[in-house]
Structure 1
């Protein structure tokens, strides 16, 4: 069996983390021995320990914040780990783990080094000089990257434009979810009971989001949208599922807007499939994304969606079928779309009933299948001539 190491900075509740965990737990054990490497103190660490047949290695110095001495220590701890494990493939996720993990894999002589772009670390909020610095750093580390994976066509195009990679060195593989968990039907009485537990009455209309409280997700915009929606629609209530660094600011905004009786912060929850079924509208206010799993989960749950048009959102949502997309930061447009859906029961029903099943490309089964196919191709392409196989570009690019 070939050792495959997946590296991610921190096992918090997030799309990149959950995809990495699903992939390592689903790899064919007859062909691959999966190892998951991460920083400490993540909310998903205990779940990762429980993954059957997956070895978990925690690197104490691997943290999201930039700290030169600690980052150098993490680099050498990763090099030592790779030298002990002797993986044939190192597959990194997220910007920080992507930089350190790929350099460490190269120093350790790992033959195949892959990186998945779950959205770039280069963001609109950064000054121009920092954006160019980060793009340059990605370009340099890209010289030791065997193959790149983008979760959206938008990220693939952006990387080619920045000259991080050529078209032949990148594949689009979606961050799949398990649609059955979210597509399961719920009885009306059970939905009413769940909504009642959230403080939502039979005549109320419930708007919600699922996201980490960090700048990328712009939870402040969600509160601004909530304020406008609740002003126009007295029956509206809102829930925010998630937690993070911006929680104190969000709590202060709720107080300042007088939304204490209208907006509830639920923190991190593990019953997201049930909570999505309690919603009348799902909202995502991200400023930038790769392709958010939360949108895929809401779509699989057949909840009407109002989201920002960032990253691969337009590749997962068909306008007028699953919901609608608005420019990032346009709070009034987002609130207007939410109110339109809340105020039209027929439209809500059409959006719920007209949505087709989640396409196969967005399922975790297809994600694992494409990863394994790519691994096999890359491993064979580095063996002596005569043992190679052809890449199927229609599946992987």
Structure 2
């Protein structure tokens, strides 16, 4: 097949014997964990009977979408960018229908409220199976209640619903989705790609930025949004530095909270030790530089950054947010604290900063956990099984 005249960013060519799965989602700026997970899926499906393409709706002239294009090319993952001017832009719906017909889409795999709604609206005009993955709501705005209502209406009408954390599974189950159409399937990571190649002190990115080998380097990754609670990490760093802990913090990402976070860093006089390093395209180099990874979030599903850090043998400090406590055992594969507990977060970072053996033990345990339970290949095998059942194939 050839690419659409005005939509395809990474070409999508399909062999005649392949079953086409179209993953759909609204993306903003450089995207996040779900966007990466979808793009990473295409190479894993290459040897199966399924062919995957991602159709991402995005604001016109969104410069961050270029980052998503680069990732798609790097993973050889077909990507179709669909410019979307908002709720009144009905051309988006029409373009999605054209894509479904052009590529003879058999499975519509949605990933948010808008793609969930579009799947239901398009199905009368193009027969296809409907599956959705619920990632959870992270960014809360004045429109979030409306998004919840749309999702709650859509999900019971889907033929299968995948939830990435057990709390989301319970919430969706309460909406009336039957157990035989509902699957708990946590996020996963390609452990062969995400693996440490050097000790933190020898990591090139760390050496380039002049971080001494003896200093503890803690890092965090994510959009700079209030829900991520990076301000808690900054305040914890201030406390530990006042205590004399030789600590440096890198926060990778961009977002609306950047200005307020930078102001907090300035107010606490932490400019030399707490750094907003901006968007980081090479996250593996970032993780390899760290002595510990810190997640202070208030809301998540099962964060991809936790999986990435664990796969890269980085010891983890995290809040007990969503799917994290189900994955990490406190004191064995990570150090957990309550959401919003600044003292608990500070204490956890302090504990790891002072204990080399504990850091090594946690990192080793988390890596083994990834290999055993969070392998991306195993996750894709389960997703293919879901597609098979929906299409009536023998399993």
Q: TM-score range by the shorter chain?
A: 0.7 to 0.9
Contact kept, 8 Å, 1:178 with 1:364, in 2: the verdict is yes
Instruction: Report the counterpart of residue 167 of structure 1 in structure 2.
Output: 179
Contact kept, 8 Å, 2:191 with 2:371, in 1: the verdict is no
2:69 matches 1:57: no
Residues 227-238 of structure 1 mapped to structure 2, 5 A cutoff: 227-238=238-249
Instruction: Report the counterpart of residue 370 of structure 1 in structure 2.
Output: 382
Pick closer, same or farther for the CA change 1:32–1:182 going to 2, 3 Å: closer
Contact kept, 8 Å, 1:76 with 1:104, in 2: the verdict is no
Deviations 1:45-95 (A, max 9, x none): 13324654x543211116xxxx4313x442333233323333110101234
2:271 matches 1:260: yes
Pick closer, same or farther for the CA change 1:259–1:203 going to 2, 3 Å: same
Instruction: Report the counterpart of residue 157 of structure 2 in structure 1.
Output: 144
Question: Which of 164, 169, 187 is equivalent to 1:156?
Answer: 169
SS at match of 1:208: strand
2:250 matches 1:245: no
Give the Cα–Cα distance (whole angstroms) in 1 for the partners of residues 293 and 306 of structure 2. 8
Pick closer, same or farther for the CA change 1:252–1:347 going to 2, 3 Å: same
Residues 1-397 of structure 1 mapped to structure 2, 5 A cutoff: 1-10=18-27, 12-28=30-46, 31-40=49-58, 41=62, 42=65, 43-49=67-73, 51-52=75-76, 54-61=77-84, 67-70=86-89, 72-100=90-118, 102-120=119-137, 131=145, 133-161=146-174, 163=175, 165-187=177-199, 190-191=202-203, 194-355=205-366, 357=368, 358-380=370-392, 389=394
Deviations 1:216-274 (A, max 9, x none): 32222222222223222441111011112222222122112211111111212233223
TM-score, normalization by structure 2 = 0.85
Cα drift, residue 130 of structure 1 = 5.7
SS at match of 1:179: coil
Deviations 1:333-374 (A, max 9, x none): 111110111122333233234545124431211121111111
Contact kept, 8 Å, 1:119 with 1:289, in 2: the verdict is yes
Instruction: After the TM superposition, list the runs of 4 or more consecutive aligned residues in structure 1 that deviate by more than 6 angstroms.
Output: none
Instruction: Report the counterpart of residue 12 of structure 2 in structure 1.
Output: none
Number of equivalenced pairs: 370
Pick closer, same or farther for the CA change 1:181–1:29 going to 2, 3 Å: closer
Alpha-carbon RMSD: 2.5
Contact kept, 8 Å, 1:176 with 1:367, in 2: the verdict is yes
